[in-house]
Structure formats: structure tokens, C-alpha cells
């Protein structure tokens, strides 16, 4: 669709999803939230795709936030619905059975940081800035920002970022555990695609098991989480990929995983 807010391109086993609203600094409106949900549904269902990279178009922003123009006239009930819509989309990303890497090329503010945090890994350009500035608009983060930031960076960091609304640079974000890696802006795409390629070449059923274990463990007690991990560990012994991986190790060669 020519009017889609997304650009989607496959690079071998990697699906590159680009939010394409540079004139709005890739702000998230309802159409974009729905398009992202559909794009991740499609990537999850496509057996040829083994990793996803998410980024924003243009040199300035990954996503600079939710679309303020669209939000400004909402009623309380509509505001809650908008929040729930965004949260559903971001849970879709978080629960993807394939690894998702956020390529943070510029501002990731408000809904943009919330979107990045629901991805499994985050690589930021050294020029990027992240933050939750909703307080400056009289708003509360609505797409999961208070909760994911709490889990990634801890209580002190979430309160600092959300109560002050002041963005931080990529280096500070890495110190807090909000981003995994920081690279020179000129190397961002190369390094992100290299990481995505590494993930795409890994055993996909084991990757899915790891993602499931982390998601379950983040939301339950340690005993239940350990039991789930053991179940996943046992389950992969039924796969051809596990046999191939162990055989390749013993034969001192590179494994060829076939997602079965």
C-alpha cells in the first residue's frame, strides 16, 4: 500500500520494518499502531523470517512519541482505549517467537522508548536520545513505559526519567540497561544487521524457547519459572535442530539449523 505508514523489506531471513513518517518524526498514531501489529503478525507467521529489525525513517528519530495531534482531542475513555491499543501492539512485539532488534537511530521518546523497550534487544546510535517526557504534557506514560522501564533499569531510573521528563543520551541509557549496545551513528545499520544475521542463523526453536522462558520468568515466581525452563529444555531434545547442533559440535563444524 502506497499510503502505509511502514516500509517492510526482507533481507534474507531478516525482516526490516521501518516506521515511515519522518515528517512527524515517526510519531505513533492509530494507523501506525495497527500497521505495526499487522506487520508483526505477518513476520511471526512467515517461516522464512527468523529475525526482525525495527527502526524509524529519516536521520532524526526512531520514534519521537505518540502523535500529540491525534491525542489532544481524546476523551478520557478514548485515551484509555488508545493506551490499550498501544499496549496490545507492544505485547505482540514482546511475545514474538522470533527475536526483534530495535535500531535506535535518533530520538526514542515517550511511545518511541516504550516501543524500543518491548523489543528483545536494542542498539542505539551514539547520537540517540531516549526518555519518557510525558510529564511535560501533563500525561502519564501509556504504552507500558513505567512498567518496562522499571524492569529494565529499576525504580530509581524510572522515577527519574518519568518524573523529570528529561531525556538521556545513549551512553547513559546503556549504563542503566535500557539499551544493549551503543555504536557510532555511521555504523548503526551495519552493526544492527550483523546482530540480526547472527540471530537469524541461530537455532530458531531454541530461540523461541529462550524468549518464552524469559517472558514467563518476568511474570511469575522463581519456582514456576525454573519448572518452565526445565520443560523447555526437555522439549528441544525432540527437535532435529538439537541433534544437528550437538552433532556439529562433536564433529567440529558449523551447524545447519532447519527449524524442525
Residues annotated catalytic, as ranges? 114, 134
Q: How many CB atoms lie within 10 A of CB 235?
A: 14
**Grid cell 552493526 — which residue?**
191
Helix (H) or strand (E) holding 99: none
Question: C-alpha angle with apex 165: 111 to 85, nearest 5 degrees?
Answer: 20
From CA 206, how far away is CA 161, in angstroms rounded? 35
Residues sharing a CB contact under 8 Å with residue 178, sequence separation 6 or more, in sequence order: 113, 117, 122, 130, 149, 152, 153, 157
Give exposure, 155-176, as e/b (b: 16+ Cβ within 10 Å): eebbebbbeebebbbbeebbeb
Amino acid at each position: 500500500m502506497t499510503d502505509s505508514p511502514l516500509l517492510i523489506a526482507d533481507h534474507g531471513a531478516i525482516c526490516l520494518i521501518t516506521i515511515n513518517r519522518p515528517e512527524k518524526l515517526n510519531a505513533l498514531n492509530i494507523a501506525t499502531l495497527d500497521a505495526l501489529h499487522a506487520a508483526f503478525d505477518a513476520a511471526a507467521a512467515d517461516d522464512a523470517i527468523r529475525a526482525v529489525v525495527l527502526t524509524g525513517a529519516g536521520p532524526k528519530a526512531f520514534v519521537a512519541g505518540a502523535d500529540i495531534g491525534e491525542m489532544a482531542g481524546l476523551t478520557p475513555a478514548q485515551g484509555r482505549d488508545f493506551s490499550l491499543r498501544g499496549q496490545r501492539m507492544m505485547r505482540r512485539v514482546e511475545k514474538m517467537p522470533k527475536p526483534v532488534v530495535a535500531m535506535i537511530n535518533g530520538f526514542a521518546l515517550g511511545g518511541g522508548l516504550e516501543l524500543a523497550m518491548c523489543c528483545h534487544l536494542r542498539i542505539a546510535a551514539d547520537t540517540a536520545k531516549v526518555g519518557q517526557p510525558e510529564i511535560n504534557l501533563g500525561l502519564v506514560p501509556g504504552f507500558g513505559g513505567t512498567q518496562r522501564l522499571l524492569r529494565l533499569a529499576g525504580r530509581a531510573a524510572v522515577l527519574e526519567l518519568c518524573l523529570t521528563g528529561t531525556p538521556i543520551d545513549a551512553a547513559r541509557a546503556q549504563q542503566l540497561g535500557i539499551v544493549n549496545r551503543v555504536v557510532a551513528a555511521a555504523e548503526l545499520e551495519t552493526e544492527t544487521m550483523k546482530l540480526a544475521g547472527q540471530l537469524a542463523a541461530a537455532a530458531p526453536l531454541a530461540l523461541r524457547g529462550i524468549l518464552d522462558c524469559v517472558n514467563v520468568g518476568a511474570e511469575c515466581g522463581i519456582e514456576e519459572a525454573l519448572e518452565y525452563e526445565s520443560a523447555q529444555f526437555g522439549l528441544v531434545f525432540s527437535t532435529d535442530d538439537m541433534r544437528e547442533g550437538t552433532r556439529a559440535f562433536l564433529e567440529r563444524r558449523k551447524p545447519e539449523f532447519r527449524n524442525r
